[in-house]
């Protein structure tokens, strides 16, 4: 299906919960954010109904997010439901990895193809600081469990913040040389906790690349890693993994955007940075079928803007990133 800007939309990011087991400093305030009442969150069968409708009009790829999706009970059951939907040919997961070790193989068998794992630092104390209490060793166990379960490619997402973790970009990039890991450096965006984002903290991707190549040598353009996405990929000579750059701010990729977002509460959002949503939960609970839901997807497409306006600041005063879906 195409939106009004002639972009092919075939990707739905599905937030299965607004709960998270971490409190990352750039995502939410220290006290966290209130979780939605249980009855306000979509049930597994409701997620399935919505995704079935989406598949009928061209959605092929599903990414499960949160909050932290691994805190959602019955996640493997949802994956099995989705994998049985005709037309869906790719199911992926974004996680912080802490809860992944006992679930990685189960999720792989249920139908998850690969994972993205958030990892902003390799230092134990700094990890604890940025996540407000997280355990780096557990995150590493999650990464290892993903590799062992065959959830390839395993991508590590690193948000780079000046004077906080920009001194680690070389070490992060070095991980890709002898390991089949795909480290993606993401430019800091003014999302969620607006007070955390300032121009002084922002590090553009070309500066990150310069820091890496000055220490580790030339990066060669690489083929896009499975799953596509907005990153530009590079590889060190003979390296097992790749280094990617996601230029959300310095060189936005909105003209190639192929996604919609479904919140855990049933809101269909055409753009992360646009607070407009189409309510799917209410009509679904009132008996709407696949055709009616598909029509609502088309309504969302009509609202999809030609580009984001992140430079103007976070526009949604009601919610932060974890409540929308990462």
pLDDT tens per residue, range 258-285: 899 999 999 999 987 777 899 999 999 9
Q: Which residue has the higher pLDDT, 123 or 324?
A: 123
User: What is the distance between the alpha carbons of residues 218 and 237, in angstroms, rounded to a whole number?
Assistant: 8
| Tens of pLDDT, residues 66-94 | 999 999 999 999 999 999 999 999 999 99
What is the pLDDT averaged over residues 196-204? 80
pTM for the full model? 0.92
In this prediction, residue 35 carries a pLDDT of 84
Place of tokens 């990890």: 127
How many Å from the N-terminal Cα to the C-terminal Cα in the chain?
Answer: 23
- 308 pLDDT more than 70: no
In this prediction, residue 196 carries a pLDDT of 58
In this prediction, residue 281 carries a pLDDT of 98
- 315 pLDDT more than 70: no
Percentages helix, strand, coil for the chain, rounded to the nearest 5? 35, 15, 45
User: What is the distance between the alpha carbons of residues 11 and 259, in angstroms, rounded to a whole number?
Assistant: 5
CATH class of 11-324: alpha beta
- 56 pLDDT more than 90: yes
pLDDT band (50, 70, 90) for residue 319: low
pLDDT band (50, 70, 90) for residue 226: confident
| Tens of pLDDT, residues 122-177 | 999 999 999 999 999 999 999 999 999 999 999 999 999 999 999 999 999 999 99
Domain ranges, ordered by start, for the chain: 11-324
Q: Check: CB of residue 240 under 8 Å from CB of residue 179.
A: yes
């Amino acid at each position: 299906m195409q939106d009004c800007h002639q972009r092919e939309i075939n990707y739905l990011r599905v937030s299965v919960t607004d709960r998270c087991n971490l409190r990352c400093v750039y995502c939410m305030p220290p006290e966290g954010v209130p979780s939605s009442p249980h009855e306000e969150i979509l049930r597994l069968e409701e997620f399935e109904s919505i995704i079935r409708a989406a598949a009928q009009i061209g959605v092929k790829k599903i990414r499960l997010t949160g909050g932290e999706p691994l805190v959602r009970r019955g996640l493997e059951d949802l994956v099995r439901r989705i994998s049985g939907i005709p037309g869906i040919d790719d199911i992926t997961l974004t996680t912080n990895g802490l809860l992944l070790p006992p679930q990685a193989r189960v999720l792989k068998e249920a139908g998850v193809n690969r994972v993205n794992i958030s990892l902003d630092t390799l230092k134990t104390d700094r990890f604890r600081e940025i996540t407000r209490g997280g355990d780096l060793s557990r995150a590493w166990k999650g990464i290892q469990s993903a590799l062992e379960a065959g959830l390839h490619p395993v991508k590590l997402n690193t948000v780079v913040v000046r004077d906080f973790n920009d001194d680690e970009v070389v070490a992060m990039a070095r991980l890709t040389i002898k390991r089949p890991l795909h480290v993606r450096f993401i430019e800091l965006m003014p999302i969620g906790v607006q007070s955390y984002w300032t121009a002084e903290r922002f590090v553009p991707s070309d500066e990150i690349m310069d820091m890496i190549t000055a220490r580790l040598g030339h990066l060669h353009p690489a083929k896009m890693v499975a799953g596509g996405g907005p990153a530009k990929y590079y590889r060190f000579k003979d390296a097992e993994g790749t280094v990617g750059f996601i230029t959300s701010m310095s060189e936005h990729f909105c003209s190639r955007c192929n996604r919609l977002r479904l919140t855990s509460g049933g809101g269909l959002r055409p753009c992360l940075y646009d607070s407009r949503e189409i309510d799917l939960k209410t009509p679904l609970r009132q008996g709407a079928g696949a055709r009616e839901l598909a029509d609502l997807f088309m309504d969302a497409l009509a609202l999809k803007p030609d580009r984001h306006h992140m430079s103007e600041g976070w526009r949604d005063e009601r919610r932060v990133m974890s409540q929308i879906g990462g």
